[in-house]
Structure 1
Amino acid sequence: MAHFLLRYTLAPDYLDRRAALRDAHLSLAWEATGTGLLLGGAVGDPPAEALLLFDSEAAATAFAGADPYVTQGLVTGWRVDRWITVVGENAATPVRRPEEMVGDDGLEPPTFSV
C-alpha cells in the first residue's frame, strides 16, 4: 500500500461559489471512498487549500479530472504527491516504535506526552 495526497489550491472566491457544486463534489467524493479515497477536506479557516488522501496515484488523478470543483474553476491548481507515511496504524511504510528501538548503548529513546 502507498499513500498519495491530492493537493488543491482553492480560488479566492471558493466559499462564494461552492454551494452550487458542493452536492456533486461530495457525491463524487463519497463514491471515491470505494475506489481509493481515504480522507479529504478543506484546510484553513477560511480555506485556501484542500487535501485528499488516496491509496493510489491513478485514483487521485482520476478524481481530480472528474471533480466539479476542478472542472468549474473552484480549484485553481492541483497536484498529486506521494506521501511516505511511517507512523500510525495505517502507515504505508511503518518504522518501528520508539519502545522497540533500544540503541547499542542501552539507552531508551525520549518519550512524548501531552
Structure 2
Amino acid sequence: MLFIVSGRDKPNGLDARLAHRDAHRAHYNALGVDLILAGPYLDGAGEPIGSMIIMRAENQAAAEAFASADPYWTERVFAELSVSRWDWFMKRPEGLNS
C-alpha cells in the first residue's frame, strides 16, 4: 500500500529543521525501494516549511509507526504529522505496485 506522510514545521523552525535534516533523510532512506519520493514544502521565499513523503508500507499502522519515528517528529521540528493511504492512478510509473 502507498501512503503520503505529511509534516508541517513549527513556526520559525528552520534552524531545528537544519539541525536534524541528516537524521531525517537517513530515516527515510532506510526504506530503500519502499521510499517512492520525498521533498520539502516551501514558503513563498523558497524556504522549507514541511515535508511530504510517499512511501510503501504493509498497512496504516506500519506507516504510522515508521512516520512517528522520523527525527523531525521526535525532535519536535514538526508541529503536525499525518499519514494517509494514497492511490496513485494518474501518471503512475509502470511496474509500481501499491
The TM-score with structure 2 as length reference comes to 0.75
List aligned pairs for 1:84-103, cutoff 5 A: 84-90=87-93
Indicate how the Cα distance of structure 1 residues 33 and 14 shifts in structure 2: closer, same or farther if over 3 A, else same. farther
Instruction: State the Cα distance separating 1:47 from its structure 2 match.
Output: 2.5
- Structure 2 distance, partners of 1:19, 1:29, is 16
The count of residues paired between Structure 1 and Structure 2 equals 91
- 1:63-112 Cα offsets, whole Å, 9 max, x none, are 2221111011101111111222211243768xxxxxxxxxxxxxxxxxxx
Secondary structure of 1:50's counterpart equals: strand
Segments of structure 1 that go 5 or more residues without pairing to the other structure are 94-114
Q: What does residue 105 of structure 1 align with? A: none
- Contact 1:84–1:92 at 8 Å: present in 2 too? no
Q: What does residue 40 of structure 1 align with? A: 38
**What CA RMSD, in Å, does the superposition of the two structures yield over aligned residues?**
2.1
Instruction: Please identify runs of 4+ aligned residues in structure 1 that moved more than 3 A.
Output: none
Indicate how the Cα distance of structure 1 residues 88 and 59 shifts in structure 2: closer, same or farther if over 3 A, else same. farther
Instruction: State the Cα distance separating 1:61 from its structure 2 match.
Output: 1.4
Select 1:65's aligned residue among 62, 65, 68: 68
- Structure 2 distance, partners of 1:67, 1:89, is 26
Secondary structure of 1:87's counterpart equals: coil
Segments of structure 2 that go 5 or more residues without pairing to the other structure are none
The percentage of counterpart residues that share the same residue type is 31
Q: 2:68 corresponds to which letter in structure 1?
A: G
Indicate how the Cα distance of structure 1 residues 62 and 33 shifts in structure 2: closer, same or farther if over 3 A, else same. farther
